[in-house]
Structure 1
Amino acid sequence: MPKVLLTGGSGFIATHILELLLKNGHEVVTTVRTEEKAKIIRDAHPGAKLSVVIVPDIAQPNAFDEVVQTPGLEYVQHTASPFHFKFKDPKTEILDPAIKGTTSILEAIKKYAPGVKRVVITSSFAAILSADKLGDASKTWSEADWNPNTYEDGITGPPGTTYRVSKTLAEKAAWDFKEKEKPNFDIATINPPFVFGPVVHHLSSLADINTSNGNMVALIVGRWKAEIPPTGVHLWVDVRDVAKAHVAAMERPEAGGNRFFVTTGLFANKEIVPIVRKHFPQIADKLPEDGVQGGDYPGGSVDNVYKYDNSKATKVLGIDWIPFEQSIVDTIGSVLKVGAK
């Protein structure tokens, strides 16, 4: 089976991609920022065809030059990119790692890894959406849409805008590189919205959980009791389907040259509560009681929310989407295990 480089191997999505690649028989080289994270991955996969390489700062010039020279690489899964809102400097902590990390690895592959056939990049619905159209129920989002925010918006805007700019400009940099540099490899990008699903990577505490699943932590520790928070973006996908999308985009020849809007459908935070109450009665005292307000669709109806078109990902990548209830149950179950440690 082909050898694959997976960047950012300790991330929420990447850990699921790693498991699937190994299950499918691929030999994997993965990168992490610290030896501590490297040891966790090695310990989690004893005997696997796996090597872990430390790349401390993906925004540094030539950060990936050495690892891409691993003999026999045929595919690259580039997932390494920051996603959090705790930064102080948007340029050095969010924008540069996302944008420069992407261009750096593409330059390194072109220069040192002529055997690589395809690079799959983790992008985001953030690179698709326009904030001013999120209230438009007539809008249908698809791969044809691009976030219009500029680099300057990312520097001066609120944290959410900074994140959206980082994902948008990183993805655009990849497509521009392909067009201008004409490397031997082609590119596919995966664009998910909120990503729920079980946590398989090591967490020292619930405070370290990925941003999307942070909602679930807030629920099970009682922070939704007085009021259910606004949903934000009403689109979701399970992390296991995101992993399948990455691997299928690598393995299926027809996937090359495409963006994939990877989403299962619409949800509201209010819909999570009865699922958790049904399946986890042991935390009933932490949950909002019936009648607690908040977390609904605009005007109380899904008809007031924008639409989505996930037909390309469904067809080309062959994804049979995991249902909402199953995703929530598996997510909460895994989070409770972490919390119990």
Structure 2
Amino acid sequence: MKVLVTGGSGFIASHCLKTLLAGNHTVVTTVRSAEKGEKILAAHSEASKGQLSYVVVPDIAQEGAFDKAVISDPPFDAVLHTASPFHFRFQDPKELLDPAIHGTKGILRAIKNSAPSVKRVVITSSFAAIVNPDGHPDVYSESRWNPVTYEEGIADRAKSYRASKALAERAAWSFVEEEKPGFSLATICPPYVFGPPIHPPESQEALNTSNLGFGSLMQGGWKEKLPPTGTWLWVDVRDIALAHVRAMEIPEAAGNRFFITAGHFDMKEVAEIAKKNFPEYADKLPAELISDKPNPLYDFDNSRSREVLGLEYMPLETSVVNTIKFLQSHPL
């Protein structure tokens, strides 16, 4: 298949590229600059000649941003839309909300208008689009939606990211329902994401948000107290990438949300794994490791991802060890 992947320099997207290339798909990825595009080509030396290329889309929030990117010869068969900002360094909440919502609607419109060959679109959503921090259910599954509004996302910075993901995913499903395009949709909703990056980070600040904690642990930032867990569900980035590609390939994935999670965890478990496998960090951790996991804690149902996509999830220890080893080999 020929596949367009948006935001190819991102943490999840770069693993999607690797998984697609391993599956012998031909891939074009969007990037914000030619410089980023060249770095992506260099990072994926496993690609055969002509298997991976890029197209520059400077600002995904702009009207018509993807209009040219979706046009290709030969044409695209599928699109993985992963591009959406995830960080907490924004000045204005609209920096998160608008690119997520407008970018999602924009690419779906561009595909419908200019890429009729596309039969499947897979969008990277998030557990943020499912979770309701104001009232957890007993079990989280794909049937749950975060009820946050755009106005709440603007008014409360703590809700801005969750609003960006929930509203972008809602916009995607609404588009398919109202516009009835020639493609089917699947969405991927992961929680806390661990795992080694594909691209070596250039600085501590350039680390993806989910792995900043590992850098802090290694540098002694957990010495006095473990950081709060926040979301007690996790998944490895390589399982997320596989979920995207299988949601693209498997006919039965059409029209489905997928809650992609390996299960519960807390930072105490992460610290214990680090201490066991990397004794050199023992003195960078508190003498007593205390769990912040509430009791009772909401349960999860990831059965759809196992039954439809055939996922078998990576253990937490494997993910943590792989991530720390990567960061050791690419010191900041």
Fold match by TM threshold 0.5 = yes
**1:84 aligned to which of 82, 87, 98:** 87
Using structure 2 for the length normalisation, give the TM-score. Answer: 0.96
Q: SS at 2:101's partner residue?
A: helix
**2:130 aligned to which of 128, 131, 140:** 128
**2:292 aligned to which of 282, 291, 296:** 296
Per the TM alignment, residue 34 of structure 1 is displaced from its structure 2 partner at its CA by 1.6
| 2:183 is equivalent to residue 172 of structure 1 | no
Per the TM alignment, residue 211 of structure 1 is displaced from its structure 2 partner at its CA by 1.0
What per-residue deviation string (whole Å, max 9, x for no partner) do you get for residues 245-292 of structure 1? 000000000001000000010001011112111211233332332x15
Show structure 2 runs of 5+ residues with no match: none
Query: Quick one: distance in 1 between partners of 2:282 and 2:232?
Result: 25
Query: Quick one: distance in 1 between partners of 2:110 and 2:280?
Result: 51
Query: Quick one: distance in 2 between partners of 1:305 and 1:216?
Result: 24
- Which position in structure 1 is the counterpart of 2:188? 190
| 2:15 is equivalent to residue 13 of structure 1 | no
- Which position in structure 1 is the counterpart of 2:62? 60
State the one-letter code of the partner of 1:8: G
Q: SS at 2:205's partner residue?
A: helix
- Which position in structure 1 is the counterpart of 2:144? 145
Number of residue pairs the alignment of both structures matches: 328
| 2:103 is equivalent to residue 101 of structure 1 | yes
| 2:213 is equivalent to residue 215 of structure 1 | yes
Query: Quick one: distance in 2 between partners of 1:56 and 1:21?
Result: 24
Do the aligned partners of 2:268 and 2:289 also contact (CA within 8 Å) in 1? Answer: no
Per the TM alignment, residue 219 of structure 1 is displaced from its structure 2 partner at its CA by 1.2
Q: SS at 1:131's partner residue?
A: coil
Query: Quick one: distance in 1 between partners of 2:209 and 2:193?
Result: 9
Show structure 1 runs of 5+ residues with no match: none
Per the TM alignment, residue 202 of structure 1 is displaced from its structure 2 partner at its CA by 3.3
Per the TM alignment, residue 338 of structure 1 is displaced from its structure 2 partner at its CA by 2.1
| 2:303 is equivalent to residue 305 of structure 1 | no
Do the aligned partners of 1:273 and 1:288 also contact (CA within 8 Å) in 2? Answer: no
**2:327 aligned to which of 314, 332, 335:** 335
State the one-letter code of the partner of 1:82: P
Query: Quick one: distance in 2 between partners of 1:285 and 1:40?
Result: 37
Query: Quick one: distance in 1 between partners of 2:66 and 2:143?
Result: 31
Per the TM alignment, residue 111 of structure 1 is displaced from its structure 2 partner at its CA by 0.4
Do the aligned partners of 1:4 and 1:77 also contact (CA within 8 Å) in 2? Answer: yes
Per the TM alignment, residue 203 of structure 1 is displaced from its structure 2 partner at its CA by 1.3
| 2:228 is equivalent to residue 225 of structure 1 | no
Q: SS at 2:106's partner residue?
A: helix
Using structure 1 for the length normalisation, give the TM-score. Answer: 0.94
Do the aligned partners of 1:236 and 1:263 also contact (CA within 8 Å) in 2? Answer: yes
Share of identical aligned residues, percent?
A: 55
- Which position in structure 2 is the counterpart of 1:36? 35
Q: SS at 1:189's partner residue?
A: strand
Q: SS at 1:178's partner residue?
A: helix
